[in-house]
Structure 1
Amino acid sequence: MIPWVQLDSARTPDGAQELRLKRRGSEFSIMLGTNELMNSRLSGSEEALAKLSCGRIASHRQPRILIGGLGMGFTLRAALTELGNDAGIVVAELVPAVVAWARGPMAEIFGGCLNDPRVTIQEADVGQLIRSQPAAWDAILLDVDNGPEGIVHKSNDALYSLQGLSAARAALKPGGVLAVWSQGPDSGFSRRLKQADFTVEEVNTRANGRRGARHVIWIATRT
């Protein structure tokens, strides 16, 4: 068996933990301690995050999309496939090393999508972008952690609080969609979405098509 090789590492924004980029043959993995945050072989649920969201705003002209978390680019690439040439996508990534990995050792996985004229990459806190631009987005897609309970960066919790969800709703255009990826279910988060005055749909999906771990995507619509 081909062994894993660590290519690089980076501290999380609070400096408390370490992200590690590893490679085994053509397979990549990003680890946080003993937790695997993402793997290049498992893209199904991240792609579903984009497909479900873009499907809900298919009638919107010149849609603006905000993606929180670059990761391995699965959500970004799926969104580019779903959206027309009039769309604009901003990807907010808080860890500069993740952007460097996308342009460096993982460039083959990204397939040039970072150079698509519809795409803007901002090394920024997605929460700050949400709070600074009211009624600006047709869809906000959040995949910044393992779900509504942040493990990579505790400040991510603020995104999923009632106050954070209310800010996301204010940042959406009427009919806009907030979509959130999670490693598993969270009934408390579903309640908070409804308290923030969203219409909520909870979708179960797989990490890899019809196989792999079960993940959850919330589709919350500003009606």
Structure 2
Amino acid sequence: MSTPYGIPEAPEVLDRREGPYGEVVLRRHGGLLQIIANGCFLMDTSDGRSERRLVDAALAALEERAAGPHVLIGGLGVGFSLAHAAGQSRWGRITVVEREPAVVEWHRAGPLSALSGRALADPRVRIVEADLVRHLHETSDTFDALCLDIDNGPDWTVTEDNEGLYSPAGLSACARVLSPGGVLALWSAKPSPEFEGTLRNAGFRQVRTEEIPVARGVPDVVHIGVRPE
């Protein structure tokens, strides 16, 4: 929405919370919903192509190997990845790990429920409120695919806590919870050739990067690796 002079109106704050990792804000800007963490823009509802591609790339890499595969989606965000996965009948179970209670509540009973309400009602879906990196180290569950989108990527993290995901120890934790032949798919706001090497050094095979064009110019990407059988 704009003023009569064509100048976009200031964003409207819908909710502001002090969470376990700092301040999180949900705001509306025109027709878009936006999530802001500690003053830093994280995501909005403008597109979602790359978040959906994150799920599609993991499913394609499974190559029909698993019947009813179990996917972990790391980061609920605005719900694009969850809604897309829930719309695919091939997934057997869908576990979503989100560390911000406010984000979960915005999906369950707030403005973001318009995007995710049907998915949250799907009996295959389970929401876990936890820090993803810690959960990967501690969970006893096993997954056929990990679709992870908790920050801007390996070269540009918003919070220091998330840097551990892209480290050798974090990738080792990913491999630990993946079944043999399982797929790791990681979203990033820009390509990272160095991270491809980190994935290979962590033991992942069939490492590749898929680029998704976006309006701002620099493509979003999905980094993909497969745990050896």
TM-score, length-normalised on structure 2? 0.86
Q: Which residue of 2 aligns with 1:81?
A: 87
- Please, which of 142, 145, 150 is the counterpart of residue 148 of structure 2? 142
Structure 1 residues 78 and 37, CA, compared in 2 at 3 Å: closer, same or farther? same
Q: Tell me by how many angstroms 1:126 deviates.
A: 1.7
- Aligned: 1:122 with 2:128: yes
CA distance in structure 2 between the aligned counterparts of 1:135 and 1:175, rounded to whole angstroms: 16
Q: Tell me by how many angstroms 1:89 deviates.
A: 0.8
Structure 1 residues 100 and 152, CA, compared in 2 at 3 Å: closer, same or farther? farther
Q: Which residue of 1 aligns with 2:182?
A: 176
Rg comparison, structure with higher value: 2
What is the SS of the residue equivalent to 2:173? helix
Q: Which residue of 2 aligns with 1:205?
A: 212
Q: Which residue of 2 aligns with 1:13?
A: 20
Q: Tell me by how many angstroms 1:135 deviates.
A: 7.3
CA distance in structure 2 between the aligned counterparts of 1:183 and 1:37, rounded to whole angstroms: 11
CA distance in structure 1 between the aligned counterparts of 2:89 and 2:132, rounded to whole angstroms: 21
Which range moved further: 6-15 or 101-110? Answer: 6-15
Whichever residue aligns with residue 76 of structure 1, its letter is: L
Whichever residue aligns with residue 218 of structure 1, its letter is: H
Deviations along 1:106-130, one digit per CA (max 9) or x if unpaired, are 1112242111101000111222332
Q: Which residue of 1 aligns with 2:5?
A: none
Structure 1 residues 50 and 207, CA, compared in 2 at 3 Å: closer, same or farther? farther
- Aligned: 1:38 with 2:40: no
Over aligned residue pairs, what C-alpha RMSD do you find?
Answer: 2.1
Q: Tell me by how many angstroms 1:91 deviates.
A: 0.3
CA distance in structure 2 between the aligned counterparts of 1:151 and 1:10, rounded to whole angstroms: 21
Structure 1 residues 34 and 96, CA, compared in 2 at 3 Å: closer, same or farther? closer
- Please, which of 11, 23, 26 is the counterpart of residue 31 of structure 2? 26
Whichever residue aligns with residue 180 of structure 1, its letter is: L
Structure 1 residues 93 and 72, CA, compared in 2 at 3 Å: closer, same or farther? same
CA distance in structure 2 between the aligned counterparts of 1:27 and 1:65, rounded to whole angstroms: 28
Q: Tell me by how many angstroms 1:170 deviates.
A: 1.7
Higher relative contact order structure (alpha carbons within 8 Å, sequence separation ≥ 6): 1
CA distance in structure 2 between the aligned counterparts of 1:126 and 1:35, rounded to whole angstroms: 20
CA distance in structure 1 between the aligned counterparts of 2:140 and 2:183, rounded to whole angstroms: 14
CA distance in structure 2 between the aligned counterparts of 1:142 and 1:123, rounded to whole angstroms: 15
Is the 8 Å Cα contact of residues 67 and 142 (structure 1) preserved in structure 2?
A: yes
CA distance in structure 2 between the aligned counterparts of 1:110 and 1:62, rounded to whole angstroms: 21
Is the 8 Å Cα contact of residues 19 and 102 (structure 2) preserved in structure 1?
A: no
Is the 8 Å Cα contact of residues 83 and 115 (structure 2) preserved in structure 1?
A: no
Structure 2: runs of 5 or more not aligned:
3-7
What is the SS of the residue equivalent to 2:224? strand
Task: Among all aligned residue pairs of Structure 1 and Structure 2, give the percentage whose two residues are the same amino acid.
Answer: 38
CA distance in structure 2 between the aligned counterparts of 1:203 and 1:53, rounded to whole angstroms: 11
Q: Which residue of 2 aligns with 1:94?
A: 99
